[in-house]
Amino acid sequence: MASQLTHEELAALMKSCAGITVDADRLRGGQDAPLAEFGLDSLGLLAIVAELEQRYGVQIDSRAEACKTPGDFVEVVNESLTVGA
């Protein structure tokens, strides 16, 4: 069974996939802030989605690629992980 994406994991993925260092607490506190505010662009988001798909062996809903906020992204990914489990 796949686990749920946490803000800590998202912060780690942002660093490993997009080279962006951001504190997980900042992501959690900025749930509705634009991902661009954290320095994450669409290519970085695609790299994170690809890594999650490989890591969990589940296809992530294509809506994740269009998410604009950390809160939306975590929600869509966790829905995909729950459905794909």
Work out how many domains the chain is built from and give that number. Answer: 1
In a domain, 64, yes or no: yes
Nearest to 35 by CA among 1, 4, 78, 64: 64
In a domain, 26, yes or no: yes
| pLDDT tens profile 15-51 | 999 999 999 999 999 999 999 999 999 999 999 999 9
In a domain, 70, yes or no: yes
Token digits of residue 3: 């686990």
CATH number of the domain to which 36 belongs: 1.10.1200.10
C-alpha pair distances (Å), 24 with each of 6, 20, 38, 68 = 9, 12, 11, 17
Residues in the chain, overall count: 85
| pLDDT tens profile 8-17 | 999 999 999 9
Domain limits for position 24: 7-84
How does residue 1 score in pLDDT terms, banded at 50, 70 and 90? very low
pTM score, two decimals?
0.92
In a domain, 1, yes or no: no
